[in-house]
Chains A and B, each alone.
Chain A
Amino acid sequence: MRALDLDYMLGLVPVILGYVPLTIGMALAAMVGALILASLMAVERVVRVPVLDLFVQLFISFFRGTPLLVQLFLFYYGLPQILPVLAGINGVTAAIIGLTLHFSAYMAESIRAAILGVDRSQWEAAQAVGMTQTQSMRRIILPQAARVAAPTLVNYFIDMIKSTSLAFTLGVTEMMGATQKEAAGSFLYFEAFLVVAVLYWAIVEMLSFLQKRLERRLNKALTR
């Protein structure tokens, strides 16, 4: 066993850190998109709009049933062959769209379960004061469901950050892509991938800290 090249590793940290904004940016963009899409699908699954419900079920089934990597390849390398409008799509956009669709399918199911978990009496009270279905959902039910779903959704966000590393297979130079290039130049694969692993880990740990604070805030309404 040879000794670790610590100097190389320390020198690599700022290089890879430079790609953190792109990684977080992709994950954030995909998270916002996935949250919106998932909430819409979750509400649809609860109220069950005829016909649309079939499409939503099919969507969820497909995006949960196939690997993310396959979906990304399908969007980036496959779809442009069928739809020439997509020919100019860049890797970052394709990755964001892929992550959005993939994670929205999982998140829709969590949000749906959280909505169904809100006590029936909350619905009735909202109806009784004259709110429309949409108002009841938006003002009373969803905020309460959000509290229940929050821990799971943050977990998906963590998973999403790590999944952005797959974007490197679409030619995107993000944290993983940058590391790969560095390693290929230095042949110090172990050092390079260890550094990137620790950096991903650190990002996730910071998020876990924020998660605890978020949960405390959301639970404010429930504590004496």
Chain B
Amino acid sequence: MISIRGLTKRYGTNTVLNAIDLDISAGERVAIIGPSGTGKSTLLRCLNYLDRPDGGVIRIGDLTVDAATARPADILALRRRTAFVFQNYSLFANKTARENITEALITVQRKPRADANARADAILREIGLVDKASAYPAALSGGQQQRIGIGRAMALDASLMLFDEPTSSLDPEWVGEVLDLMRQLASRRQTMLIVTHEMQFAREIADRVIFMDGGRIVEQGPPAQIFDAPQDRRTESFLRRVR
């Protein structure tokens, strides 16, 4: 169970996140949609303190992190319960595909190298990249890099997986394979919070869709309700524009 209360982020006088309240239950798949610059990515980045929020409380299981009092140890604990998939993949450029997956298992989770390697190989099989195990990121296609990015996140066994527009940097030809992999994860009831512009995908895999605008959650509900019968005028006009 994840609960977010009053999450706020400002840049100067500009309030990017305005007191966001959000609960996510274990196994829930939540998609966030909305116009650019409305705080969707900032929300995700504040959830693991890549951007430090100015206020608000995040609870994941028995861990509570309050922006007013969060210390480095709290932030580390929070990051170790979440996994993040970046829009630009952000694979470790000095590590092979396999090392990208094992790195945190060895340095953060202190797993023996053999166990970490076994886990990485299992994940590489699952994401269909066994043959790229010893390739460096620079030698991989965008789609392959993002699948490794997701594999790296999977290995962490995080309570919550955060996806920040995972297909937005991809050439159209690679989008499908990344979405397929995310479908697999969703079918396993991995708790996921996904910022996406892929409306069809959101409708298909999400239990709940959140529409954000102006740093606030405007409307949320099951996909059918949000996409077919939006209650708010802003949701309706956004959906009309993206269709």
Residues of chain A having any CB pair with chain B under 8 Å = 119, 121-122, 124-132, 135, 139-140, 143-144, 147, 220-224
How close is A119's CB to chain B, nearest CB, in angstroms? 8
Question: Is B185 an interface residue, CB under 8 A from the partner?
Answer: no
Q: A129-B104, A143-B94, A222-B138 are in contact. List 15 more A-B contacts (CB 8 A).
A: A121-B88, A124-B50, A128-B82, A128-B84, A129-B84, A130-B79, A130-B80, A130-B108, A135-B107, A139-B103, A140-B92, A140-B95, A144-B93, A221-B136, A224-B138
Residues of chain B having any CB pair with chain A under 8 Å = 48, 50, 76, 79-80, 82-84, 86, 88, 90-95, 103-104, 107-108, 136-139, 152, 156
For A223, the closest partner residue in chain B by CB is: B138
State A139–B137 Cα separation when bound (angstroms): 16
**Contact among A139, A143, A147, A220 with B107 in the assembled complex (CB-CB below 8 Å):** A139
How close is A65's CB to chain B, nearest CB, in angstroms? 34
Q: Which 6 A-B pairs have the closest CB atoms?
A: A129-B104, A128-B84, A125-B90, A130-B80, A121-B90, A221-B136
A124 with B94: in contact, given A130-B104, A139-B103 (CB under 8 Å)?
Answer: no
State A130–B104 Cα separation when bound (angstroms): 7
The residue in A129, A222, A223 that gathers the most chain B C-beta atoms within 10 A of its C-beta is A129
State A222–B84 Cα separation when bound (angstroms): 24
How close is B169's CB to chain A, nearest CB, in angstroms? 11
Residues of B within 8 A of A128 (CB): 48, 50, 79, 82-84, 86, 90
A129 x B93 contact (CB < 8 A): no
For B106, the closest partner residue in chain A by CB is: A139
Q: How many A-B residue pairs have CB under 8 A?
A: 70
State A67–B95 Cα separation when bound (angstroms): 41
For B45, the closest partner residue in chain A by CB is: A124
24 pairs from A and B in contact (CB 8 Å cutoff): A121-B88, A124-B86, A124-B90, A125-B86, A128-B48, A128-B82, A128-B84, A128-B86, A129-B83, A129-B103, A129-B104, A130-B76, A130-B104, A131-B107, A135-B108, A139-B103, A140-B92, A140-B94, A140-B103, A144-B94, A147-B94, A221-B137, A222-B136, A223-B139
State A131–B94 Cα separation when bound (angstroms): 16
For A121, the closest partner residue in chain B by CB is: B90
State A200–B141 Cα separation when bound (angstroms): 47
State A147–B136 Cα separation when bound (angstroms): 15
How close is A143's CB to chain B, nearest CB, in angstroms? 5
Residues of A within 8 A of B48 (CB): 128
B104 x A224 contact (CB < 8 A): no
